Chain A
Amino acid sequence: MTVSAIEFSRLGPPKLRLYAMRCTACGTLSPWWERHHCYHCGGSEMVEQELAGRGELTNYTVVHYPPRDFLGQEPYVVGHITMDEGVLIPAPVVGVAPEDVRVGTRVKATLRRMKLGHEGDIYYSQKFVVDEEAPAG
């Protein structure tokens, strides 16, 4: 949850693009929130790396009791997507019925409206849809 438009400005740029954090010491990619510290090697210098947007659904759950910002969207799928670059990104998977979701499905990122901040500041971020162009199986 976010507090105010001040926080929105501080977060900038907000997640208008899909990116991960690369450790300058060991090169491992971590999710976008690891701005301070590399969980793998303990390194303390992390830089942004944009992701191409394609990956594989390696785990998922279906949320039936949403938090306030997601009211009305339930039931919705939240997936763990292993991006082609190797990093695991958590994100909703949309445009597919929860009962049709499978581990192993190829997915690609799309831009969606995530929530309305406390002061009417709008947060956009990436959700994922099934990648129709990916080879089947």
Chain B
Amino acid sequence: MRVGVLGIGKTPHKIQHDKSLRDLVVEAGRAAMADAGVEPSDIQALYVGNCGSVGFNYENSTGLMSAHHLGLVPSGAVRVEAACGTGAWALHLGCTAILSGLYDTVMVLGAEKMNDLATVEGTSIIAQAADSKEEYFSGLTFPSGVALTARKYMQTYGLTEEDLAHTSVKNHHYGARNPYAHLRFECTVEEVMRSAKVADPLKLYEVCPMTDAGSALVLCREEILRDRPEVPQVYVTATQMATGTWYAATDTLADAHALLAAPAQRAYEMAGIGAEDIDVAEIYNSFAIQEPLGIEALGFAPQGEGWKGAADGSTWIDGKVGVNLSGGLLCKGHPLGATGSTQAVDIVEQLRGTAPEGMQRPDAEIGISACRGGPGAVGAIHIYQRLEG
């Protein structure tokens, strides 16, 4: 498959009290359309990824709101939701829309505004992405549910909290260089270990902040991008989705691995490449432990060794594969509905060679984004390639 990425755009990812949800939507959407050199009337369908506007913003029907305020009326628009995998699902639907032949040009847009409410309210709303009626009856929150996975991982492979702390060090190194990131400071292993406890064993520097953001991509049929040679020739060449258990109680390490490994395998086959061909990867890491798990699932390291790359350099900018050179969700934050679309935007930037200095991997040609959601419920893999000629 080849779906052309005609344009990309994003807002800063941080607390933005001066911007509403629709302000973020309009800013991201207009940036993507300007980058693509298209008018609103060129967008034939809009897929808006937004996870929690009913809770965070007391508003619903985010897709319709976005179509109106972006000037996309009368094209079709819909809101897409799949927990933290929402943005990736919007991308998937945008790709399938193009591949179906029914559409020439569509826009994929993720947006979330999380910071109008206090943390305790936000935590409770995020909990609704899992079974907040039943499993979270037990006092679990998202951080604590993932913390259980972190402890299982450490127990299974005989690891210490210091071993896992390297992931945060790497992400913060690149987050400090990302002008769009929420958190822009470097840190050491000692500072990670000393940071405040959130849910044992996860500490503050191992969990993402709550962020306001929007990000968008204009997608088109392959021929349309080919006819625009001045636009970097970046295509989505695979899109594979999966579900897993919706409960932390039934989410074993094997389940966590399979959630991404199975669609990743299908995606590699779909794109005709292997793990060894990947130059850059955006791996969902709202909590640090998810990066090693994702590295293993994508085939970059054996199970139990995914944490090593952050310590030995092999997942840094000049390592075997550059993982989360944007600073990951740990630094960009996790604006629920926008995370998956921002991952795509950031990979496209890498393949275009337009990422900021200190983050740009030289000669990046093939990238992958792995997004996940819920306790173990959503897996989403996209592969992107720069294909000249």
Contact = CB atoms under 8 A, between A and B. Distances in A.
- Judge A-B direct contact (beta carbons within 8 Å): yes
Interface in B126-148: 127-128, 131-141, 143-145, 147-148
Given A39-B245, A92-B139, A65 B131 contact: no
Nearest to A74: B139
Interface string A85-103: 0001111100000100001
B249 interface: yes
A1 B132 CA distance: 6
A2 B133 contact: yes
A42 interface: no
Given A39-B245, A64-B197, A64-B198, A59 B148 contact: yes
A90 B248 contact: yes
Contacts of B141: 63, 65-67
B200 A33 contact: no
Contacts of A66: 120, 123, 139, 141
A107 interface: no
B119 interface: yes
Interface residues of A toward B: which range?
35 or more
A78 B139 CA distance: 7
Nearest to B196: A64
Contact of A32 (B134, B143, B200): B134
Interface secondary structure of B, over-half rule: helix
B246 to A, nearest CB: 9
B137 A15 contact: yes
Given A1-B128, A78-B139, A63 B144 contact: yes
B144 A78 contact: yes
Interface residues of B toward A: which range?
35 or more
A67 B123 CA distance: 6
Given A33-B247, A62-B197, A63-B199, A70 B139 contact: yes
A108 to B, nearest CB: 16
B249 A65 contact: no
B261 to A, nearest CB: 19
A93 B69 CA distance: 49
A115 to B, nearest CB: 8
Interface string A53-84: 00000011111111111110101101010000
Contacts of B144: 61-63, 78
A65 B136 contact: no
A62 B200 contact: yes
B199 A62 contact: yes
Nearest to B141: A67
